[in-house]
């Protein structure tokens, strides 16, 4: 089994449930508020580890993050040598509003995620060297992601970039170094500069990124599942049906699951079917890291879907 290294953010999520997400200038009454373990990097590291991957994680936490987030990383079996705690500093915080349909909006305050700099990653170079698959998102400084992508490509590692939150455009130097780019519809629209309001448009937008050097695009399309596009194929994978409770971390769960199957040497199509099942289970539960299923649960769910003829 190949070794996975996730490099990215950790956040304390302040999750508010409300019947609807307020529009600009509107005040709505909330239903509940809770504190959860989150952050795109941390969610993806937990997903990789919980779903059976040999996973390391590079991140930086503030004081309270060491008590509220670190235990989950240890519990999930993550290699924590890449994690530093900066006493007296504030851990990243995300303010999430979830509506009755499970949809969300998120505002992130970076906190110590912005201490996860290129120099910090350089100080953990041994972790990049000993890993095979490097997984990145965009909640740490862009110069840090730039360094990590270039260093990983130089060492011949497989690079996976989940371009979230989406920048206005992707650094053109990165494109030929990315093996798998995994945007959702909104992110795909932003980084391709093209409209993505149908599967056909998503395919055209993904192909535009392939023509610029990205090897594979896996676009997550919410209820439409996932679309895999490379220079030789384009295939949509529809997800199983489930009652959606909270979509927070569904994309992170999907990414983690794809990475684990790739680390096990499985085919990308098989990886996406597994990832759709894991992400479906995660949207049936509240929160970020606590919503991520185990390998056993995901395999049981897949087996039940196969029995019903649903996949
Ligand atoms: O992808 C979901 C995550 O985005 C949340 O856990 C929140 O922390 C934000 O980073």
Q: In CATH, what number does 3-9+41-60+117-307 get?
A: 3.40.1190.20
Burial of 163-201, coded b for 16+ CB within 10 Å and e otherwise, reads bbebeeebeeebbebbbbbbbbbebbbbbbebebeebeb
CA distances from 236 to 100, 119, 269 (A): 27, 39, 10
Assess whether pLDDT exceeds 90 at residue 286. yes
Mean pLDDT of 154-175: 96
Q: How far is the centre of ligand 1, averaged over its atoms, from the C-alpha of 306 (Å)?
A: 31
* The two three-digit tokens of residue 85, written as one number: 């705690």
Mean pLDDT of 250-263: 98
Ramachandran angles phi, psi of 224, nearest 5°: -85, 0
Of all protein residues, the one whose alpha carbon is nearest to atom 8 of ligand 1 is: 39
Any ligand 1 atom below 6 A from CB of 38: yes
As annotated, the active-site residues are 252
Residue 294 exposure: Cα atoms within 13 Å on the Cβ side? 6
Pocket test for ligand 1, best of 94, 165, 287 (most atoms within 8 A of CB): 94
Helix (H) or strand (E) holding 56: strand 54-62
Question: In terms of pLDDT, which residue wins out, 281 or 310?
Answer: 281
Mean pLDDT of 82-90: 97
pLDDT 10s digits, 225-235: 999 999 999 99
* Ligand 1 atom closest to Cα of residue 43: 6
* Ligand 1 atom closest to Cα of residue 37: 6
Separation between Cα atoms, residue 33 and residue 13, nearest integer Å: 10
Chain-centre distance for alpha carbon 181: 11
CB 116 within 8 A of CB 83: no
pLDDT 10s digits, 113-156: 999 999 999 999 999 999 999 999 999 999 999 999 999 999 99
The pLDDT of residue 311 is 78
Band of pLDDT at residue 264, cut at 50, 70 and 90: very high
Band of pLDDT at residue 217, cut at 50, 70 and 90: very high
Q: How many C-beta atoms surround the C-beta of residue 310 within 10 A?
A: 11
Any ligand 1 atom below 6 A from CB of 138: no
3-class SS of residue 106 = strand
3-class SS of residue 22 = coil
Assess whether pLDDT exceeds 90 at residue 309. no
């Amino acid at each position: 089994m190949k070794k996975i290294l996730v490099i990215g953010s950790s956040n304390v999520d302040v999750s508010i449930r409300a019947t609807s997400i307020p529009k600009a200038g509107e005040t709505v009454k909330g239903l509940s508020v809770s504190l959860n373990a989150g952050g795109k990097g941390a969610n993806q590291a937990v997903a990789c580890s919980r779903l059976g991957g040999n996973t390391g994680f590079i991140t930086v936490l503030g004081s309270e993050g060491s008590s509220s987030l670190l235990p989950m990383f240890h519990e999930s079996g993550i290699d924590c040598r890449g994690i530093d705690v900066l006493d007296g500093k504030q851990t990243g915080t995300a303010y999430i509003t979830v509506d009755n349909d499970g949809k969300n909006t998120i505002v992130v305050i970076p906190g110590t995620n912005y201490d996860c700099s290129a120099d910090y990653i350089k100080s953990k170079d041994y972790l990049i060297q000993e890993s095979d698959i490097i997984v990145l998102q965009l909640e740490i400084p862009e110069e840090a992601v730039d360094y990590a992508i270039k260093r990983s490509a130089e060492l011949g590692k497989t690079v996976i970039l989940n371009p979230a939150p989406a920048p206005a455009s992707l650094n053109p130097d990165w494109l030929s170094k990315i093996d798998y780019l995994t945007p959702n519809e909104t992110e795909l629209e932003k980084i391709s500069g093209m409209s993505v309001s149908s599967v056909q448009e998503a395919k055209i937008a993904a192909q535009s990124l392939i023509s610029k050097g990205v090897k594979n695009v896996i676009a997550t399309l919410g209820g439409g599942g996932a679309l895999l596009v490379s220079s030789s194929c384009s295939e949509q994978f529809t997800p199983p049906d489930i009652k959606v409770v909270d979509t927070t971390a569904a994309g992170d769960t999907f990414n983690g699951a794809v990475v684990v199957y790739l680390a096990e040497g499985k085919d990308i199509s098989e990886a996406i079917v597994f990832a759709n099942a894991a992400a479906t289970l995660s949207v049936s539960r509240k929160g970020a890291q606590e919503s991520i299923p185990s390998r056993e649960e995901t395999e049981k769910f897949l087996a039940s879907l196969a029995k019903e003829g649903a996949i």
